[in-house]
Structure 1
Amino acid sequence: MEMLDRLLSSSVPFLSDGGLETDLIFHEGADLPQFASFVLLDTSEGREMLRRYLVSYLDMAEAAGRGFVLGTPTWRANGGWGPKLGLDDAGIRDVNRRAVAFIRDLRDTHPWRKNILLEGAVGPAGDGYAPAQLLAPAEAARLHNAQLETFADDGVDIATAFTITHPGEAIGIATRARELDLPFALSFTVETDGRLPTGQDLDSALDEVETATDGYCRYYGINCAHPEHFVDRLPSGWLNRIGMVRPNASRRSHAELDEATELDDGDPHEFGALYAGMAQRLPALRVIGGCCGSDIRHIKAVIAAGA
């Protein structure tokens, strides 16, 4: 718990990476079926690609003198997507176990290891842009159980759910994490209007989760949208609970991004400036990173802008 305590008490936000999947697909030519980056763990070439990507960020954090949140490549490694990728329950557990071992080895062999927090990355059981099914908490807990149990057993510092689209799934994941005594953070996807893909406003969604889980989440986050889509719609009552923001580089809507055949990486310098301005409104910001279309240039620009 030492690294998590450092993260939560730090006056300077830790860094994280950008949009891993979009970076590796468009810049490195990676073949990621269903956007599943965990498949790279299956080959020496894939593991080397992941290693280069993540070590570049660890080196960046060391150069900046900042802590780093090192996440597993497991956004798709859950009970919703696993069967679509040929994984049963045992396969899901194996993938997540290997992913934790991979990032632990990266941390333990890096000079900055005493400043690196291990994060188990959780993704939605369905589409993070447009959910076809709204999950009840019990069903969400079942679909995410194998992954969460593995993270708890293998000792990550925190599990974080990204691009969650509705409170039912969020509550289910958080409740199961709580039962496992697994530190947990939650990040919602928002659309160009600052609302969840279901149309629900962020304020009421956060209230649902907070109430149903007795405030178990260590912090909340927003990701997978451009800063301009939500910066003026940040729920004022939750500014002290929003600890992570990982925006998209592009201003395009999720529907437009789904149809795109080329990467829209926006303007890294503008991204950094917008992020720094937003950070001034978030007194509890603990983790800086990016999402779709962003890469190490964008995170370096955030640092340069003073966030």
Structure 2
Amino acid sequence: MMTKRLPQMDRPFLQYTGNETDLIFNKGIDLPNFSAYPLLEEAAGQTVLAQYYDALISIGAETGAGVILDTYTWTANPDRAAAIGYTGARLAEANRRAVVFAQQAKARAGSVPTVVSGMIGPRADGYAPAALMTADEAADYHRDQIAIFAEGGAEMINAFTLCYAEEAIGIARTAAEAGLPVAISFTVETDGRLPTGAPLGAAIAAVDAATGCAPAYYLVNCAHPDHVEGTWRQTEGQGEGPWMERLKGFVANASRCSHAELDAAVALDDGDPEELGGQLGAIARRHPHFTVFGGCCGTDLRHIAEIARRVAAPT
């Protein structure tokens, strides 16, 4: 049973999930299979990744926002980890290490409100999965990683870049079994629909119907505001509906490119940090129940600082 209300339900919180593109394109660090968690095995890698946590905490302190400290484990699931030699006990230890690392950052945060989150990603390509699981298959697939996060003291689960409802249903059920609140984040294409073609609202409604509204809330990530604002504006003044009320925020890409274009890119499109912050600030004003904002692909700490300035104290 969930006994604790997550603090980000009631005040602005920041989230940064764009570390991988920043590490690869801006810092020149190779990440096999787009995986950051192997960096935690060495002191130099720990230093680099700690800087993201500490900078996020500093931005929170400056703007009055809380911060979500996601583990660096978006690709630390059996299929994607096996491709770089992480299986069995080695993969389990990598997930445990990541939770401890996030907890150490929380201990450095002082008075800044923080939440340690176990991050999980989709089993397959979040943009174009080769095969879709049933909800039961997804629950079984993600169970071990979620259990490790629960045993390690994570305060919640964040499931990012999901592209179909059944995987989200399985994750939500397994997180509930583990006693952890879960936030489900879907990604959308340039038309505001999931990569499978399903409307965002239909996916959220399907997950809630199948799980008894188990997720604490929903997000959209790995998309640009231009990809959703048109759809969301159409709901204004029309009652929006229960699914829109279940959304709590947006973790945005810097680029307006489609997922296919991003996959093929050889250079980073980092957009305009000030413009992105302004767009998310406008969304925060139009949807005052949104409280979680941040940056995904192509963003760096410049974007996060601008987003924080605009959503923590919107003008």
| TM category, shorter | over 0.9
Deviations 1:2-52 (A, max 9, x none): 9853222x2x31112251111111111111111111111111111111011
Q: Distance in 1 between matches of 2:168 and 2:79?
A: 14
Query: Are residues 1:209 and 2:244 paired?
Result: no
User: Retained in 1: the 8 A contact 2:249–2:292?
Assistant: yes
Q: 1:136-285 residue pairs with structure 2 within 5 A?
A: 136-234=134-232, 236-237=240-241, 238-285=243-290
Q: Distance in 2 between matches of 1:297 and 1:270?
A: 12
SS of 2:6's equivalent in the other structure is helix
TM-aligned CA distance change 1:51 to 1:277, over 3 Å: same
One-letter code of the match for 1:151?
Answer: F
One-letter code of the match for 1:43?
Answer: E
Structure 1 unmatched ranges of 5 or more: none
SS of 2:279's equivalent in the other structure is helix
Equivalent residue number for residue 291 of structure 2: 286
SS of 2:282's equivalent in the other structure is helix
Moved more, 80-89 or 123-132: 80-89
Q: Distance in 2 between matches of 1:3 and 1:56?
A: 27
TM-aligned CA distance change 1:32 to 1:142, over 3 Å: same
TM-aligned CA distance change 1:4 to 1:262, over 3 Å: farther
Q: Distance in 2 between matches of 1:36 and 1:203?
A: 30
Sequence identity (%): 43
Q: Distance in 2 between matches of 1:136 and 1:285?
A: 30
Equivalent residue number for residue 52 of structure 2: 53
Residue 116 of structure 1: how far off its partner (Å): 1.1
Q: Distance in 2 between matches of 1:286 and 1:76?
A: 26
Deviations 1:73-112 (A, max 9, x none): 0000112312222222322221111000001111113334
Q: Distance in 2 between matches of 1:33 and 1:3?
A: 37
Q: After TM superposition, where is structure 1 displaced by more than 4 Å over at least 4 residues in a row?
A: 1-4
Deviations 1:104-156 (A, max 9, x none): 111113334x5111111110000011111111112212221111001111121
Query: Are residues 1:6 and 2:7 paired?
Result: yes
Give the RMSD, CA atoms, in angstroms.
Answer: 1.6
Q: Distance in 2 between matches of 1:52 and 1:303?
A: 17
Which of 121, 129, 132 is matched with 1:131 structurally? 129
TM-aligned CA distance change 1:142 to 1:89, over 3 Å: farther
SS of 2:16's equivalent in the other structure is coil
TM-aligned CA distance change 1:4 to 1:51, over 3 Å: farther
TM-score (norm 1): 0.94
Q: 1:17-56 residue pairs with structure 2 within 5 A?
A: 17-56=16-55
Q: Distance in 1 between matches of 2:309 and 2:59?
A: 12
Query: Are residues 1:304 and 2:309 paired?
Result: yes
SS of 1:120's equivalent in the other structure is strand
Aligned residue pairs, count = 304
One-letter code of the match for 1:267?
Answer: D
User: Retained in 2: the 8 A contact 1:239–1:284?
Assistant: no
Equivalent residue number for residue 88 of structure 2: 89
One-letter code of the match for 1:245?
Answer: F
Structure 2 unmatched ranges of 5 or more: none
TM-score (norm 2): 0.92
Deviations 1:201-254 (A, max 9, x none): 111111110100100000001010110001121362222211121011000111
User: Retained in 2: the 8 A contact 1:67–1:116?
Assistant: yes
Q: Distance in 1 between matches of 2:115 and 2:289?
A: 18
